[in-house]
A and B are shown apart, each in its own frame.
Chain A
Amino acid sequence: MPAAPQHPEPLQSGAEVLLRALKDQGVEVVFGYPGGAVLPIYDAIFNQNAIRHILVRHEQAAVHAAEGYARSTGKVGVVLVTSGPGATNAVTGLLDALMDSVPVVCLTGQVPTHLIGNDAFQEADTTGITRPATKHNYLVKRSEDLARVVHEAFYIARSGRPGPVVIDLPKDILIGKAAYAGPVDTHRSYRPRTEPDPAQIARAVALLKGAKRPVIYTGGGVVNAGPDAAAALTRFVRMTGFPCTNTLMGLGAFPASDPQFLGMLGMHGTYEANLAMHGADVLLAIGARFDDRVTGRLNAFCPDARKIHIDIDPSSINKTVPVDVAVIGDAGRAIAALTAAWEADATEPDRAALAAWWRQIDLWRQKQSLRYIQDTAPSAVIKPQYAIRRLWELTQAQAKDVFITTEVGQHQMWAAQHFGFERPNRWMTSGGLGTMGYGLPAAMGVQIAHPEALVIDIAGEASILMNIQEMGTLAQYRLPVKVFILNNQYMGMIRQWQELLHGSRYSESYSNALPDFVKLAESFHATGLRAENYGQLDDVIGRMLASDRAVIADIAVDPKENCFPMIPSGAAHNEMILGVEGEGEARGITDEGLVLV
Chain B
Amino acid sequence: MPGPDNNHLRSATISVLVDNESGVLARVIGLFSGRGYNIDSLTVAPVDDARGRSRINVVTSGTEMVIEQIKAQLDRLVPVHRVADLTREGPHIAREMALVKVLGTGEKRVEALRIAETFRARVVDTTTESFVFELTGATEKLDAFIDLMHPLGLAEVSRTGVAALARGIRTI
Chain A residues with a Cβ under 8 A of chain B = 127-128, 131-132, 135-137, 139, 141, 156, 187-190, 306, 313-315, 317-319, 322-324
Contact = CB atoms under 8 A, between A and B. Distances in A.
A128 B75 CA distance: 20
Contact of A319 (B2, B27, B69, B80): B69
A318 B76 contact: no
Given A131-B30, A132-B34, A136-B78, A318 B3 contact: yes
> Which of A132, A187, A189, A317 has the largest number of chain B CB atoms within 10 A?
A189
B1 interface: yes
Contacts of A318: 3-4, 65, 68-69
Interface string B72-86: 110110111100000
Nearest to B26: A131
A310 to B, nearest CB: 15
A189 B79 contact: yes
B19 A189 contact: yes
A127 B3 CA distance: 37
A319 B81 CA distance: 22
Interface string B47-79: 000000000000000000100110011011011
A322 B78 contact: no
Contacts of B81: 188-189
B22 interface: yes
B65 A322 contact: yes
Contact of A189 (B34, B73, B80): B80
Given A187-B78, A322-B4, A314 B72 contact: yes
B22 A139 contact: yes
B30 to A, nearest CB: 6
| Interface pairs A-B: 6 shortest CB-CB | A322-B3, A315-B72, A136-B78, A189-B81, A190-B78, A314-B72
A315 to B, nearest CB: 4
B75 A314 contact: yes
A72 to B, nearest CB: 26
Nearest to A303: B1
Given A187-B78, A314-B76, 17 more contacts: A127-B23, A128-B26, A137-B23, A141-B22, A156-B78, A189-B80, A190-B78, A306-B2, A313-B76, A314-B75, A315-B75, A318-B68, A318-B69, A319-B72, A322-B1, A322-B4, A323-B3
Contacts of B128: none
Given A189-B79, A324-B2, A131 B22 contact: no
Nearest to B31: A132
Nearest to A187: B78
Contacts of A188: 19, 81
Given A189-B79, A189-B80, A131 B23 contact: yes
Contacts of B6: 322
A189 B83 CA distance: 12
Contacts of B72: 314-315, 317, 319
Contacts of B68: 318
B2 to A, nearest CB: 5
A189 B81 CA distance: 5
A131 B75 contact: no
Contacts of A314: 72, 75-76
A126 to B, nearest CB: 11
